[in-house]
């Protein structure tokens, strides 16, 4: 059994690190995860449901929850006179199989980031959410083909941005990172671009018109 202490870690880190730990260990293993809020428990439950893991959880103290995700063995299970083979969850999911290839990008899937914050309301919370979104995006089984950054989103790919490491990870996985040159110039960041390359509005329009799916947080 693996023991993971995720107390104090922001979403989506508990879910992603638990998923990675179980996938590294393989079928027949259990991840016991300690978290400090009920939302994290719910997110872990959703992970278990999506992956086909058995799930248990209980509250042990104030701000202390213990969850268990059990990945059943791939051994065959005999029920009555029938014999059923339990496959790893990924084996049942063609998209997950695609992600096992060296290049897990989906052609025509474009992520568009037009702001350095995610959603409306608190700017501080919005920056935290955008950081979480990009980290989560970099951990997906199916990746976008391209990430387009313009207006305030141009700041995300520049020196000093908290999101820079996540964008570099996406680029290392083969995702094309394109930042609007006009926007960089407007914000005085032309010399600060630290990942990907500069693009123009014609190409931004062209990529979006050709996209089969556009993701815009």
Catalytic residues: 11
Q: Would you call 171 helix, strand, or coil by DSSP?
A: helix
Q: Reading across the β-sheet that carries 213-215, which strands appear in turn?
A: 197-199, 176-180, 143-149, 105-113, 213-215
Q: Quick one: which H or E segment has residue 146?
A: strand 143-149
Q: Would you call 150 helix, strand, or coil by DSSP?
A: coil
Which of 154, 143, 162 has its CA nearest to residue 196? Answer: 154
What is the rounded distance in angstroms from the CA atom of residue 209 to the CA atom of residue 178? 16
Q: Would you call 68 helix, strand, or coil by DSSP?
A: strand
Kindly report the number of other CB atoms within 10 A of residue 104's CB atom: 17
The interaxial angle of helices 123-138 and 13-25, nearest 10 deg, is 10
Which of 56, 43, 50, 38 has its CA nearest to residue 17? Answer: 43
Query: Do the beta carbons of residue 52 and residue 21 sit within 8 Å?
Result: no
What sign does the CA torsion over 45, 51, 56, 61 have? Answer: negative
């Amino acid at each position: 059994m693996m023991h993971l202490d995720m107390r104090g870690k922001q979403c989506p880190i508990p879910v992603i690190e638990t998923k990675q730990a179980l996938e590294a260990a393989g079928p027949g293993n259990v991840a016991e995860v300690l978290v400090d809020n009920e939302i994290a428990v719910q997110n872990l439950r959703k992970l278990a449901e999506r992956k086909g893991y058995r799930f248990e959880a209980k509250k042990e103290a104030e701000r202390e929850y213990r969850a268990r995700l059990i990945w059943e063995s791939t051994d065959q299970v005999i029920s009555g006179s029938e014999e059923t083979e339990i496959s790893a969850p990924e084996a049942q999911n063609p998209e997950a199989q695609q992600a096992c290839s060296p290049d897990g990008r989906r052609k025509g899937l474009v992520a568009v980031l037009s702001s350095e914050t995610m959603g409306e309301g608190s700017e501080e919370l919005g920056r935290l959410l955008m950081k979480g979104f990009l980290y989560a995006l970099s951990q997906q089984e199916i990746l976008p083909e391209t990430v387009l950054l313009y207006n305030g989103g141009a700041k995300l790919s520049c020196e000093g941005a908290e999101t820079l490491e996540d964008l570099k990870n996406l680029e290392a996985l083969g995702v094309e990172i394109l930042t609007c040159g006009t926007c960089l110039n407007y914000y005085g960041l032309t010399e600060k671009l630290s990942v990907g390359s500069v693009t123009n509005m014609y190409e931004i329009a062209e990529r979006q018109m050709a996209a089969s799916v556009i993701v815009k947080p």
